[in-house]
């Protein structure tokens, strides 16, 4: 079964750090771009970052640049999101998602994890 | 403020058809694939449409997508009460070098 399972969400104080993990199974992880998408309570979806299948390219939404780092370990079928200098507005459910690429163009997110909750509060 | 614009809510009766619009620009919808997602309450999103108008296996043909210029549309025919959910459009924005979503549309089946 194709599956993504996130972990690492927690309650953290403003200015703190957290590392999220996403364990992939049921597919050849090293063949796919991967993303992190978040959803603040009662709000819409917001893409956070993605990483190319071999880790050679990463892209970020503007307001996490310099604070968040996406990475992957293809040998361990794992995706990570290192979050530093956390702010209250980073409070959200964080999903990892598999990116579909058609030819050379990013298409959809076809597989999603169940999400992990990050709460930034004092 | 989302890069892609969707109506906040739509509603229709069971068995009817509803259309959800998604408006963007030449840097996103105009030159990139559009996808649509359904998010039922308390669950992760699920892809309904990819590559503008293709349905993944298992998605009923009641759901259809289209794109014209800088806008896209999701049609849902034969509405069922189980279709009540939030719906999001998404694409890549070439100018931003970022994935973008619409703000989401809440569908109510009356």
Tokens 């719906």 found at: B87
Rounded to whole angstroms, the Cα distance separating B55 from B2 reads 25
Kindly state whether B31 is in contact with chain A, defined as any CB-CB distance less than 8 angstroms.
no
Distance of CA A20 to the CA centre of its chain: 7
Instruction: Please report residues of B whose CB lies closer than 8 A to that of A105.
Output: 32-33, 92
What's the pLDDT band for A103 if we cut at 50, 70, 90?
Answer: confident
Nearest Cα of chain B lies from the Cα of A101 at a distance, in angstroms, of 10
Say yes or no: B24 contacts chain A, CB-CB below 8 A: no
Give the model's pLDDT for residue B49: 97
Residue A101 has pLDDT above 90, yes or no: no
Is beta strand B46-49 parallel, antiparallel or unpaired with respect to A92-102? unpaired
Which residues are bridge partners to A120 per DSSP?
A12
Give the separation between CA B5 and CA B24, rounded to whole angstroms. Answer: 7
Interchain contact, A44 vs B86, CB within 8 Å: yes
Q: CB contacts < 8 Å between A and B, how many?
A: 68
Token pair 């599956």 in the structure block, residue? A3
pLDDT digits (tens, 9 = 90+) for B51-104: 999 999 999 999 999 999 999 999 999 999 999 999 999 999 999 999 999 999
In this predicted structure, what is the pLDDT of residue B46? 97
Considering only CB atoms, B104 lies closest to which of A44, A102, A110, namely A44
C-alpha–C-alpha distance, residues B14 and A25, integer Å: 38
What mean pLDDT comes out for the span B36-44?
96
What share of chain A has pLDDT > 70, as a percent? Answer: 100
Q: Please check whether residue B7 touches A, CB under 8 A.
A: no
Residue A89 burial (CB count, 10 A): 10
Query: Residue A33's pLDDT is what?
Result: 96
At residue B16, the pLDDT reads: 97
């Amino acid at each position: 079964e194709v599956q993504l399972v996130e972990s690492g969400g927690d309650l953290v104080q403003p200015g703190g750090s957290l590392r999220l993990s996403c364990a992939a199974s049921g597919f050849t992880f090293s063949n796919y771009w991967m993303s992190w998408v978040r959803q603040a309570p009662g709000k819409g979806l917001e893409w956070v970052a993605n990483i190319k299948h071999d880790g050679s390219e990463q892209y970020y939404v503007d307001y996490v640049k310099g604070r968040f780092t996406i990475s992957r370990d293809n040998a361990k079928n794992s995706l990570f999101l290192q979050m530093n200098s956390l702010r209250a507005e980073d409070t959200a459910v964080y999903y990892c998602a598999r990116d579909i690429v058609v030819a050379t163009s990013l298409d959809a997110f076809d597989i999603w994890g169940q999400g992990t909750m990050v709460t930034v509060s004092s | 403020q989302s890069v892609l614009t969707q109506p906040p809510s739509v509603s229709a009766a069971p068995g009817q058809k509803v259309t959800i619009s998604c408006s963007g620009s030449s840097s996103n919808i105009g030159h990139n694939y559009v996808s649509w997602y359904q998010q039922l309450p308390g669950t992760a999103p699920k892809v309904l449409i990819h590559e503008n108008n293709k349905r993944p296996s298992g998605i009923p043909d009641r759901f259809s997508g289209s794109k014209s210029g800088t806008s896209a549309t999701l049609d849902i025919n034969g509405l069922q009460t189980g279709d009540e959910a939030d719906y999001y459009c998404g694409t890549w924005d070439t100018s931003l070098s970022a994935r973008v979503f619409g703000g989401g549309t809440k569908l109510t089946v009356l």
